């Protein structure tokens, strides 16, 4: 297939956000007096692409009502917005990759499990200096189902007016790979996020790379075809 578009996940793929999120998550649940959630536990739950409410139901020893959930969610969102300005950065090599893909006339889209609005994500990419490379951003809020369902990927390709069979989807979790394959795109895994190479390979992607910085070599080796 001829590569016409790349669709990327955000967290663990283009952006190194886990340390900040782990910190604000534990601050957000502090009012429940249940102790901190270890990094390995939170990583494992995030890798499953669970919603915040689903994660809370798994780490708290008791059910929470709607009011308590919304207070916790708002606190985590507020703390994350404050902390990300200084604490969240794109992975090394990300801007170079996006710039060279753009020079190759390959469109770049974002399909994320985040439940924020696409406007919020455009602001985040603008702060990182990456917005000028991106053609479309789709979040889970805008579609019916989260990954591993293919909804965000299908919508992203639609907005870029690119056939899915000409798209490569890059992500750091098994859910990303499954969603890409269900959408009919080529799936590529990267080990910079929540899951190991072994876990990613179980989903049978086209290739697993160390990080997005290695992706440019992959594109050039395939001659723009995959």
Which CATH number belongs to the domain containing residue 9 in this structure? 3.40.50.1000
80 and 184 in a common domain: no
Q: Is residue 197 part of a domain?
A: yes
Residue 226 has a pLDDT of: 60
Residue 163 has a pLDDT of: 98
Whether this prediction's pTM lies above 0.85 is answered by yes
103 and 46 in a common domain: no
99 and 211 in a common domain: yes
Q: Is residue 226 part of a domain?
A: no
Q: What is the mean pLDDT of the chain?
A: 94
151 and 140 in a common domain: yes
Cβ atoms of residues 22 and 80 within 8 Å: no
200 and 96 in a common domain: yes
* Domain assignment of residue 22, given as a range: 18-87
Q: Is residue 111 part of a domain?
A: yes
Position 157 pLDDT exceeds 80: yes
| pLDDT (average), residues 218-224 | 70
CA-to-CA distance for 85 and 1, rounded, in angstroms? 39
Residue 194 has a pLDDT of: 84
User: Measured in whole angstroms, how far is the alpha carbon of residue 48 from the centre of its chain?
Assistant: 12
192 and 134 in a common domain: yes
Reading the block at residue 126, the tokens are: 């603008």
**Domain boundary pick from 87, 111, 132:** 87
Largest CA distance in the chain: 55
Q: In the chain, where does DSSP find H-type helix?
A: 18-28, 39-47, 52-59, 66-87, 94-103, 118-127, 151-159, 174-183, 197-202, 215-221
């Amino acid at each position: 297939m001829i590569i016409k578009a790349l669709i990327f996940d955000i967290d663990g793929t283009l952006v190194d956000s886990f340390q900040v999120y782990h910190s604000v998550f534990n601050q957000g649940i502090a009012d429940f007096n249940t102790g901190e959630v270890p990094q390995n536990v939170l990583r494992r739950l995030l890798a499953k692409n669970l919603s915040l409410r689903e994660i809370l139901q798994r780490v708290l020893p008791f059910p929470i009502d709607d009011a308590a959930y919304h207070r916790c969610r708002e606190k985590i969102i507020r703390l994350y917005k404050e902390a990300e300005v200084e604490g969240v950065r794109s992975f090394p090599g990300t801007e170079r990759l996006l710039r060279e893909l753009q020079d190759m006339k390959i469109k770049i889209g974002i399909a994320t499990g985040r439940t924020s609005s696409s406007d919020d994500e455009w602001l985040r990419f603008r702060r990182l200096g990456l917005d000028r490379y991106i053609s479309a951003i789709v979040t889970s809020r805008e579609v019916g189902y989260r990954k591993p369902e293919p909804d965000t990927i299908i919508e992203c390709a639609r907005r870029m007016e690119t056939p899915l069979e000409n798209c490569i989807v890059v992500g750091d979790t098994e859910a990303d790979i499954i969603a890409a394959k269900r959408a009919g795109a080529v799936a590529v895994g990267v080990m910079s996020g929540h899951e190991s190479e072994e876990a990613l390979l179980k989903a049978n992607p086209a290739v697993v790379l160390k990080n997005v910085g290695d992706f440019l070599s992959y594109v050039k080796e395939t001659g723009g075809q995959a």
